[in-house]
Homo-oligomer: A and B are copies of this chain.
Amino acid sequence: MKTLRVGIVGFGNLGQAAENSLKQQPDMCLAGVFSRRKLSHPSYMPIAVLDEGRVEVDVLLLCGGSAKDLPKQTPHFAGQHNVVDSFDTHAAMQQHFEAAHAAATRGGKVAILAAGWDPGVFSVMRCLFEATLPQGNSASFWGPGISQGHSDALRQLPGVKDARQYTLPDEAALNAARSGKPVAKAHKRLCYVVPEEGANLQQLEHSIQTLPHYFAGYETQVVFVSQEELLQKHAGMPHAGHVVRHGSTQDAHAHLLEFSLKLENNPAFTASVLVACARAACRLHQQGATGAYSLLDIPLGLLSPQTPQELRQRIV
């Protein structure tokens, strides 16, 4: 088994978690950590080194954000290297795939995109569930887990010193989905808020609960805490979720499929999925494939360090 040289581009939470994940792989090593800003990391190299072809890498993990980094980085690097990203802006997915596909095809490389848990593992579940139970209803639930976007929105509000927001699945909605009933309000929002000194708490609670696009229309609970309590109890990055499909076969028998995950650390697991996809990207490339793929477009056995024969004997 050849050792794959894996480069990490971007070294925030996800990039750091990817470095950790590489240590768990029997067939991979870190080829470099590439960043625009100078890092004190021993494997740091300026990102420009990649364009200059001065470093040998088999695959790049693109660990930047979907808003600003990946729309540029993925098509750029897909023309030069096999790449994996966790692009998750649903509305721009098709455009992102097309740009990466064109670049990867031109460069003779493989790009695996939208790898993570959602999109990624959840996408696999939604597809497999729907294909094997074509008549039925699917629902995805997220949480309990920290939503970065909603936490940021809270912190923008006047009177808020610091805050974290948990998205929670509504238990009644989850049970409705499991019974094949329609799901209305699937999620609740729980806000831990450190108020500025002297803030009017009642007014602050009201302005949170009515904040358009974020909390208006949701069952939103606001809990005021001290800065110490927030740092002590809510500094982690846990997440969780469910994909549920209830369906019927033609004989009127009902069936239920459910996937759930519970993560102590969201970027740690996302990175672990990215790293498994890096292996798949290298193998596909070795088989002569080129272009952009999602997790639905590749055999999942390619994620494992084992061969198809080994997998058949052990876990098929």
Contacts and interface: CB of A to CB of B under 8 A. Distances in A.
Contact of A258 (B17, B133, B260, B297): B260
Contacts of A114: 312, 316
B313 A93 contact: yes
A254 interface: yes
Interface of A: 17, 20-21, 23-25, 93-94, 97, 114, 119, 121, 123-128, 130-135, 249-251, 253-265, 268-269, 271-273, 276, 294-301, 303-305, 308-309, 311-313, 315-316
B265 A256 contact: no
Contacts of A260: 256-258
A127 B304 contact: yes
Contact of A268 (B25, B255, B300, B308): B255
A197 B315 CA distance: 45
Contact of A132 (B303, B308, B309): B303
Given A132-B273, A312-B294, A20 B265 contact: no
Contacts of A131: 276, 300, 303-305
A97 B310 CA distance: 12
Contact of A312 (B93, B258, B311): B93
Most buried by B among A94, A259, A313: A259
B249 A17 contact: yes
Contacts of A125: 259
B133 A128 contact: no
Given A119-B316, A294-B312, A132 B272 contact: yes
A299 B296 contact: yes
Nearest to A116: B132
Contacts of A315: 123, 126-127, 130
A148 B140 CA distance: 34
Most buried by B among A131, A260, A305: A131
Contacts of A305: 131, 134
